Amino acid sequence: MTDPKRVAILISGSGSNMVALAESMTGDHPARPVLVLSNDPGAKGLDRARAIGIPVAAVDHRPFGKDRAAFEAALMDRLAEARPDILCLAGFMRVLTPGFTEAWAGRMLNIHPSLLPNYRGLHTHARALEAGDAEAGCTVHEVTAELDGGPILGQARVPVLPDDTADTLAARVLVQEHALYPAVLRRFAAGDRTPVLLP
Ligand code: GAR
């Protein structure tokens, strides 16, 4: 059997998708977590990763100001120490430059809280409600230089209910995110890019 793929998970906030990914990488899983990295030293998810026993690091983006390339060079340095094969963006809220996305082409995944190609960017749930959509969901895709635009590796759908607010819809989608992302990562780490469709 080949060695498990080494996975680094990039977060900015609470890290619930990171926990779902990390907890899935056990037993005969073809990957294992080697680092949780945040652009925010105060991210709640760093504590959750420590509690699970995954090495953590933070590269605070703020001292770099508008110099995204320098921030990304610092991320690269920290990643080089962990030697990941795959990067999973999990609520990582910094836009990455083409220099970074090209360096990780074919090896970097992201989860986005909409049914892409609908609603790239922010405020996805409010925009789905505003549009009167009957369905919402989430997408895992490969990261390319185009924001939320890379090849789709999986989607999960939920109904939009009559009384939904952006928060209630986000909570319903998040439950599906925690099922979808581990399912996609398992396939991807095994070399299978066939899209996962849930439910
Ligand atoms: C998730 O809903 C994720 O899809 C979203 O941020 C949340 C992070 O939650 N990501 C984006 O909006 C990316 N543009 P988590 O930190 O609990 O996983």
CATH number of the domain that 136 lies in? 3.40.50.170
In a domain, 195, yes or no: no
196, 182 Cβ separation under 8 angstroms: no
In a domain, 50, yes or no: yes
In a domain, 63, yes or no: yes
Confidence class for position 88, pLDDT limits 50, 70, 90: very high
In a domain, 108, yes or no: yes
Q: Tell whether ligand 1 has an atom less than 6 A from the beta carbon of residue 15.
A: yes
In a domain, 142, yes or no: yes
123, 164 Cβ separation under 8 angstroms: no
114, 139 Cβ separation under 8 angstroms: yes
- CA–centroid distance, 78 to ligand 1, in Å, is 22
Residue 1 has pLDDT above 80, yes or no: no
Query: Using one digit for the tens of pLDDT, what is the confidence trace for 134-178?
Result: 999 999 999 999 999 999 999 999 999 999 999 999 999 999 999
Range of the domain at 140: 5-190
Helices 16-24 and 166-189, packing angle to 10 deg = 30
Specify binding-site residues for (6R)-10-formyltetrahydrofolate. 68, 110
Q: Tell whether ligand 1 has an atom less than 6 A from the beta carbon of residue 177.
A: yes
What pLDDT does 2 receive?
84
In a domain, 11, yes or no: yes
- CA–centroid distance, 189 to ligand 1, in Å, is 21
Q: Tell whether ligand 1 has an atom less than 6 A from the beta carbon of residue 16.
A: yes
Confidence class for position 179, pLDDT limits 50, 70, 90: very high
Query: Using one digit for the tens of pLDDT, what is the confidence trace for 60-86?
Result: 999 999 999 999 999 999 999 999 999
Residue 32 has pLDDT above 90, yes or no: yes
